[in-house]
Chain A
């Protein structure tokens, strides 16, 4: 797709989890195309940094500190966005704890840890979508985007909440898409694979990653799973969001947009494994 500059001119897009990582890269990618951005997350400082980046690109930016696991705060996010920006065109449910989950044995997972993991990674998207849905339904227009993960399609050892919640996000997309289609609301899902959001992460995370990389841990593990041979760049996801926010995707709903370097298509062997067996040898 060759997006012209200004593809999203005047559109107001809310991004939860917009302070760091993919949320921030989506915000900047969309702002570069003329969108005005509302960023929501718990911590104010990263949100302000994203907002500053948006403004630098010429967009309006609004910071609304929000805990997406709290219904009242989600309702407030929508109400305040409407009041201050005058309209909402797209809600991107991106908030989630990618690395926040403690990998512990099943018997050591507390109710609280389970609930938190499901709340942040699944329920938050539900609360925010519900909060904006009536407004979208009344104006017979609107787009909701959910961000799942390749993990939502596969298992991962000791990753109970994240993998379960992300699978839920995929099907929440389908249910909302079918239910809201008659109101001209489009609901789609972005499925990132391994994306290197290093630049958009807090300093302490960057340090931890740098250490892991020095030990050669991450690069090797990821190459094993990604057929393209490397992690995605934040813009790889930002541009999917751009497509789904733009009018170009108006007839698309319940779509699952995977951007994972081929990971989910393979997975039958380690990446790079490509046997050569002649037909005759196979028959023997």
Chain B
């Protein structure tokens, strides 16, 4: 399935963060390309399914139940990956909790929670993983964010801000670690549903591809950015959105 150039055999990938869509397909894509897997996220049936799927693909896989909003837990999770596998090559941050409320109605607690899950968790995973990658002089960090990292949306203040923060962290660390062999890139998503079935027909017509995305459509770009051939690609924001961000 995977061309040799994109093969991830022998690499260790950590898929981190709380997200409705991304964990399973990203794990499947990375495992399919040959990477051994660790997942740090809340303990749910989905987490177990993702691990089992990776094992079924013939890869090693471990689940590390983690409250990603808890900094010390995140640190321990990354350290556990490194101690079990001996290294960490790829970190995919798939943090994506939805939060859409009118700005004035958002409580401090909800605002903080959105930042904690969507942004601070990402920063914390990168903090510990990056330290290891600097020692290895090699690493791939891929942050999955919404296109709303760049665009605004009514009632989306907390969400847009948290996503925008991850995008800026992506660009900054790409520069900061450019000479250290670590690439840092972001993948932008658009409108997705579990099955790809449009949740809103008006909105689907607005998307140039005229349909919603299926989560597994994101996997190939993750593999591409995780592979050795993209070592000259860093600080980029690439979209898998059916053309949405090019739209007038």
Least Cβ distance of A187 to chain B in Å?
25
The answer to whether the Cβ of B53 comes within 8 Å of any Cβ in the partner chain is no
Kindly provide the distance from the CB of A271 to the nearest chain B CB, expressed in whole angstroms. 9
Interface residues of B, dominant DSSP: loop
User: Which of B148, B152, B200, B245 has most A Cβ within 10 Å?
Assistant: B152
| Most chain B CB neighbours (cut-off 10 Å) among A266, A274, A282 | A282
* B247 and A154 contact, CB distance less than 8 A: yes
A268 to B200, CA, bound (A): 14
Say whether B20 faces chain A, with CB atoms less than 8 Å apart.
yes
Q: How many Å from the CB of A239 to the closest CB on chain B? A: 24
The number of chain A residues touching the other chain, given as a range, is 20 to 34
A269 at the interface (CB under 8 A from B): yes
The residue on B at minimum CB distance from A225 is: B248
A279 within 8 Å of B (CB atoms): yes
Q: Which of B7-15, B93-101, B217-225 contacts A (4 or more CB under 8 A)?
A: B93-101
Main secondary structure of the interface of A (DSSP, over half): loop
Q: Does A265 contact B (CB under 8 A)?
A: yes
**Is A276 on the interface with B (CB-CB < 8 A)?**
yes
- Are A283 and B246 neighbours in the complex by a CB distance under 8 Å? no
- Which A residues touch B152, using CB under 8 A? 262, 265-266, 268
Q: A227, A265, A267, A270: which contacts B203 (Cβ < 8 A)?
A: A270
Total interface residues in chain B, CB < 8 Å? 33
Output the nearest chain B residue to A268 by Cβ-Cβ distance. Answer: B151
Whether B110 is near chain A, meaning CB under 8 Å from some CB there, is yes
Q: CB distance B247 to A267 under 8 Å? A: yes
Chain A nearest Cβ from B202, distance in angstroms: 6
A154 to B206, CA, bound (A): 14
* Min CB gap B246→A, angstroms: 4
Assembled-state Cα–Cα distance A272/B203 (Å): 11
- CA–CA, A225 to B248, complex, Å? 8
Chain B residues positioned under 8 Å from A224 (CB to CB): 206
Q: Distance in Å from the Cβ of A46 to the closest Cβ of chain B? A: 28
Whether B156 and A275, one on each chain, are in contact in the complex, defined by CB atoms closer than 8 angstroms, is: yes
Residue from A154, A269, A274, A275 within 8 A of B248 (CB atoms): A154
Q: Which residues of B contact A154 (CB under 8 A)?
A: 246-248
Say whether A281 contacts B148, CB under 8 Å: no
1/0 per position for A254-266, CB-CB distance to B under 8 A? 0000000010011
B99:A276 contact, CB within 8 angstroms: no
With contacts A155-B246, A279-B99 taken as known, whether A266 is within 8 angstroms of B113 at the C-beta atoms is no
Complex: A159 Cα to B154 Cα, angstroms: 29
Interface status of A179 (Cβ within 8 A of chain B) = no
Binary contact readout A150-188 vs B (1 if CB under 8 angstroms, 0 otherwise): 110011110000000000000000000000000000000
Please name 26 pairs of A and B residues whose Cβ atoms are closer than 8 Å in the assembled complex, sorted by A. Answer: A154-B246, A154-B247, A155-B243, A155-B246, A155-B247, A224-B206, A227-B154, A262-B152, A266-B152, A267-B247, A268-B148, A268-B152, A269-B203, A273-B154, A273-B200, A274-B100, A274-B154, A275-B156, A276-B102, A277-B99, A277-B100, A277-B101, A282-B98, A283-B18, A283-B97, A283-B117
Residues of B within 8 A of A (CB): 18, 20, 97-102, 110, 113-114, 117, 147-148, 151-156, 190-191, 200, 202-203, 206, 208, 243-248
Mark A residues whose CB is within 8 Å of B.
150-151, 154-157, 224-225, 227, 262, 265-270, 272-279, 281-284
With A268-B152, A268-B190, A275-B156 known, 11 other A-B pairs at CB within 8 A are A154-B248, A266-B152, A266-B153, A268-B153, A269-B203, A275-B100, A278-B99, A279-B113, A281-B98, A283-B98, A283-B117
